[in-house]
Amino acid sequence: MPKDTPLDDDRIGLEARAAADDHAALKLWLRLLACSTQIETEIRKRLRARFGITLSRFDYLAQLHRHPEGLRMNALSRYLMVTGGNITGLTDELEKEGLVQREPSPQDRRAFVLKMTPEGRGRFEQIAAEHEGWIVELLGGLKAGERKTLHALLGTLRVTIAQRQDAQDAQEPLSPDTPETAK
């Protein structure tokens, strides 16, 4: 399909929500969401077909790969933005498969540090190499300069959003049950 060809009704997805007279920012938001969803759906499909692994497991292993010293379960939960229960379930499964191990935390006897096993590290590195190739392929319709520009623009957008969130948080009054007001 040529670059300029519009998507058909079956593939337009989230962008179908936008009307011609909608604000440009809304159209941009829907396009970002549609692109993200489309890429994620394809990656999920390929991970499942090629490696029999879910995106959740891949993301879990990616975090442990970035932290060879290991992570406590609560830190991993924060990085993945999921509940501790999700982490416990995934840890149980991946531990049974020999990909991760729990070690007692040296700082807190009640906590565990999660680490990849050598087998887990090797398996993840194999999957990650293919995953990277898929991402390169999926973004291959953009020229190198376009990818660089898009990356920079999205970085600017993230900073701007964070600054606005910080400003909004600074303006919000404390609720009556906030600990600071109980003093």
The per-residue pLDDT for range 31-77, each reduced to its tens digit, is: 899 999 999 999 999 999 999 999 999 999 999 999 999 999 989 99
Q: Which of 167, 173, 168, 169 is nearest to 181 (CA)?
A: 173
How high is the pLDDT of residue 106?
85
pLDDT over 70 at 96, yes or no: yes
C-alpha 54/C-alpha 48 separation (Å) is 6
| Residue 14 clears pLDDT 60, i.e. is over it | no
Query: Are the CB atoms for 88 and 73 separated by under 8 Å?
Result: yes
Highest mean pLDDT range out of 25-34, 113-122, 174-183? Answer: 113-122
Q: Which domains does the chain have, with CATH numbers?
A: 52-150 (1.10.10.10)
Q: How far is CA 117 from the centre of its chain?
A: 23
SS3 172: coil
Q: What was the pLDDT predicted at 108?
A: 83
Which pLDDT does position 16 carry in this prediction?
61
Q: Which whole number is the average pLDDT over 120-129? A: 97
Instruction: Please give the Cα distance from 62 to 129 (Å, whole number).
Output: 12
- Split at pLDDT 50, 70, 90, the class of 9 is low
User: Mean pLDDT across the stretch 152-170?
Assistant: 93
Residue 176 has pLDDT above 50, yes or no: yes
